[in-house]
Structure 1
Amino acid sequence: MTVLRRIAPQLVTLAALVALVTLFFPDFLRIEVVDGRFVGPVMDIAKRGAQVGLLTVGMTLVVATRGIDLSVGTVMAISGAVAAWAITHDVSLAGTLALALTAGAAAGLWNGCLVALVGIQPIVATLILMTSGRGIAQLITEGRILTFSNEGLAFLGSGDLLGIPVPALIWFAAALAIALLMRRTALGLLVEAVGVNRSASALAGVNAAVLLVAVYVASGLCAGLAGIVSAADIRGADANNAGLWLELDAILAVVIGGNSLLGGRFSIAASLIGALIIQTIDTGILLAGFPSEYNLVIKAALVLVILVLQSPNLAHQWRTVGRAARRRREGVPLSAKAQGQ
């Protein structure tokens, strides 16, 4: 019940957005079975939202520690390049996945060490990898789009299981696994403690440095998995465009999910709904037929409206107005403060 109350605003926002898109595109919620696969705009959102969804899971953990990871899009490009390079050099599928995920974890380890051990601010530490990482990816791909034809790897980006797109299953499974790990163990509480006050948590016996490094490694792994899905989807690695600016969508999804950038309490479920909201906006704009040059402006306007409606200050004002109206109906005299409000 507590979880439902926590994500209720995000669910209401998603439902309102779906209703708005349906007005422009009546078949938005229609799902059909074609050649044993579920197809329709909703399934497209679940599939196309996999990359942002995976990045959002890792970003939520980082933000909970009062950090930020601007390098996740670049890590996607690096991991995708490693996966494409490995599979074209006759490395087994298992070996390819291991190398790509290791590359993501190594990138996260680099960020975590800079933040936790060296003491560089997270936005600066991750900006270093964000600017240099695409060069690394281009070195791996030799400056070209590195294509492959391996069906096993391609299955992770464009295949389906029981009619459901595999990318959707991957990001839902990853989110569920990390959410259970955070909430069924003490890790979630420790992450929140570090985000609220790192010094106090260290005095309480929490090894904040190790925890911070682990959080950035987790973010790197999520980005690495997103890079594999991205490369598998197009059957190639595009170092220039893979994950480009997706870190901004991931941060936005975390914020829309009601998580504070100041750290502390977090909800992976709410962040994932935020990711679905972002992808629904993108898909809805395309289906509504708006000119492409207006897409970013419309998206920015819708996101602004959503954030304003979810604002704690606005919610407080609505509660104050509601209490005042209820007292009037009940004939209870208003205090001077309430009357002033």
Structure 2
Amino acid sequence: MSGLAKVVSHRLFWPIVMLLVLFAINLVAFPGFFTITVRDGQLFGSLIDILRNGAPTLIIAVGMTLVIATRGIDLSVGAVAAISGAVACSIILGSPEPGNLATVAVAVAVALLISLVLGVWNGFLVAVLGIQPIIATLILMTAGRGVAMLITEGQILTVNSPPFKFLGSGFWFGVPVAVVIAAVVFGIAALVTRRTALGMLIESVGINPEASRQAGLRARGLLFAVYTFCALCAAIAGLILTANTAAADANNTGLFIELDAILAVVIGGTSLAGGRYTLFGTLVGALVIQTLVTTVYTVGIPPIATMVFKAAVVTIVCLLQSPTTAASISGFRRRLAARAGKGLAAS
């Protein structure tokens, strides 16, 4: 196989091409798209906005990647994000000093702790009771927003706490805090799964759970770990989303973000059938999703058509990545080579 054929057949080729195409469309519609300015020591620009707005999706997609690699799925991440934001805001509002850093630290810690419990619950349903992951997490997806509504008493909780708002709209050394948090989560996940045996164990469970069990691998504990980590990622994303608006909205916080996370994972080349996965591909997929949303607004497409436009682009990328398309391209290339060989022989 030639070098060019290897590049085209790589599972990240078409997602990267799509990302570059979206960049080009934005550049044509808005010539200053790649411009990054520094104001008061902080970075601003369209690319910075894409990174900041796409950070929650990337964080959840990182956890979702590991779940999908084990042949699972987690539909509850949006509800967990809503619960996390509701818990944090309710604690802050109930404190006599909502702007106190210690109060915010306690609120964040409690929200993350509750998310760990929710992740263990998902892991228990899947690993111990043997419930299909899509059903097990659908339970929390359905009940989770109800729990968030109970926490907020059906109200939108608005908080006035600079330390908390810093998580969503603050800057650290000129870079948005949300981007820094996403980079840390991504880096830790990549380091732990690719520099230790954990990544190989996750892949083995996803490829053949029964063979892994017979080989002595404790798949149950591994499933607990990935579902708990995914819930933790969802809670972190929920805190960022809530802090960005300084309000906990149980109905809308993290709404449909589970779909964006799954799309990011699939676009990045991780198979829903489990097994091999790629965190870098998930990063590319998350950038494609967020750039796509930005493109909708840049080119003037009505916001109500965002979901349709997103579905169309994602469908194109998935079709280009499909084995059938790859086989067709390979067959077409062989036919061209055969015709070229006949032409040379005739001459």
Q: In angstroms, what is the RMSD of aligned CA positions?
A: 2.0
1:188 aligned onto 2:207: no
Greater Cα offset, 302-311 or 72-81: 302-311
Match of 1:60 in 2: 65
1:108–1:219 CA contact under 8 A, matched in 2: yes
Report the Cα distance in structure 2 between the residues aligned to 1:230 and 1:259, rounded to whole angstroms: 26
Q: 1:290 aligns with which of 301, 305, 317?
A: 301
Distance 1:110 1:204, change over 3 A: same
Q: 2:267 aligns with which of 243, 252, 256?
A: 256
1:70 aligned onto 2:75: yes
Match of 2:145 in 1: 134
Report the Cα distance in structure 2 between the residues aligned to 1:125 and 1:74, rounded to whole angstroms: 13
SS in 1 for 2:32: helix
1:49 aligned onto 2:60: no
Report the Cα distance in structure 2 between the residues aligned to 1:228 and 1:52, rounded to whole angstroms: 12
Question: What does 1:233-252 correspond to in 2, within 5 Å?
Answer: 233-252=244-263
**Runs of 4+ residues over 6 Å off in structure 1:** none
Q: CA deviation at 1:226?
A: 0.4
Q: 2:129 aligns with which of 115, 118, 143?
A: 118
Q: 1:83 aligns with which of 77, 88, 92?
A: 88
SS in 1 for 2:18: helix
1:327–1:333 CA contact under 8 A, matched in 2: no
Q: What code does the residue aligned with 2:282 have?
A: S
Consecutive unaligned residues in structure 2, runs of 5 or more = 1-5, 96-101
1:270 aligned onto 2:275: no
Give a deviation string over 1:108-159, Cα, whole Å, max 9, x none: 1110100000111100000000000111111111111112122111111000
Q: 1:228 aligns with which of 222, 226, 239?
A: 239
Greater Cα offset, 10-19 or 220-229: 10-19
2:35–2:45 CA contact under 8 A, matched in 1: yes
Consecutive unaligned residues in structure 1, runs of 5 or more = 335-341
Match of 2:328 in 1: 317
Greater Cα offset, 312-321 or 251-260: 312-321
Give a deviation string over 1:12-46, Cα, whole Å, max 9, x none: 22112211232222222222222222111111110
Aligned sequence identity (%): 49
1:154 aligned onto 2:165: yes
2:15–2:317 CA contact under 8 A, matched in 1: no
1:303 aligned onto 2:314: yes
Report the Cα distance in structure 2 between the residues aligned to 1:333 and 1:189, rounded to whole angstroms: 48
SS in 1 for 2:12: helix
Q: What code does the residue aligned with 1:36 have?
A: G
Q: What code does the residue aligned with 1:216 have?
A: Y
Match of 2:98 in 1: none
The two structures have a TM-score, normalised by structure 2, of 0.91
Report the Cα distance in structure 2 between the residues aligned to 1:112 and 1:218, rounded to whole angstroms: 10
1:54–1:175 CA contact under 8 A, matched in 2: yes
Greater Cα offset, 224-233 or 23-32: 23-32
Report the Cα distance in structure 2 between the residues aligned to 1:306 and 1:23, rounded to whole angstroms: 22
Report the Cα distance in structure 2 between the residues aligned to 1:311 and 1:199, rounded to whole angstroms: 27
Q: CA deviation at 1:332?
A: 9.3
1:167 aligned onto 2:172: no
Report the Cα distance in structure 1 between the residues aligned to 2:281 and 2:307, rounded to whole angstroms: 23
1:206 aligned onto 2:217: yes
Q: What code does the residue aligned with 1:302 have?
A: V
Report the Cα distance in structure 2 between the residues aligned to 1:13 and 1:294, rounded to whole angstroms: 19
Q: CA deviation at 1:294?
A: 2.3
Match of 1:339 in 2: none
Match of 2:107 in 1: 96
1:27 aligned onto 2:32: yes
1:7–1:269 CA contact under 8 A, matched in 2: no
Give a deviation string over 1:310-331, Cα, whole Å, max 9, x none: 2222122112222332343344
Give a deviation string over 1:212-250, Cα, whole Å, max 9, x none: 011100000000100111111111211110001111111
